[in-house]
Amino acid sequence: MGHIGYAGDVTSQEAWEILRQRGDAVLVDCRTDVEWCFVGLPDLAELNKKPLMIAWQTYPDMHVNESFEKEIQAKGVRPDQTILLICRSGQRSRLAAMALTSAGYRHCYNVADGFEGAHDEWRQRSRVEGWKVAGLPWTQG
């Protein structure tokens, strides 16, 4: 399950189960504030949890957020906790998992199918895979 640079990839459904089973597991949504507002957010209320919203890249320039690790620390996340990172389709969250792992966080997992998943044949997301397609709880602002 391990990958070079982080603990491994999980699906959205596997992430939900980990969040359900491990009391100290956290979900870090590393998309941008625009995505959180207009696309929606994972809803962890059923698990008595909330996603941590910490952008890996800043909108609109999409530069890497230099304070990402500091923001993780500021939310009280410990290096020994299970950290599940999610973005739109698993690319940014993979990079974030690698960065946190290199900073000493030992259990960083990439939610590889993301919140919206890959494109379908019409180049649209939220149809073939991802948190939304898996039928997991989510809300929209």
Q: Domains along the chain?
A: 8-134 (3.40.250.10)
The predicted-structure confidence for 75-131, as pLDDT tens digits, reads as follows: 999 999 999 999 999 999 999 999 999 999 999 999 999 999 887 888 788 777 899
User: Could you give the C-alpha distances from 83 to 48, 74, 87, 93, in angstroms and in order?
Assistant: 16, 15, 13, 11
> Alpha helices, DSSP H only, in the chain?
12-21, 33-38, 68-74, 91-102
The predicted-structure confidence for 3-45, as pLDDT tens digits, reads as follows: 578 999 999 999 999 999 999 999 999 999 999 999 999 999 9
- Quick check: pTM over 0.75? yes
- How far is Cα 4 from Cα 108, in angstroms, rounded to an integer? 12
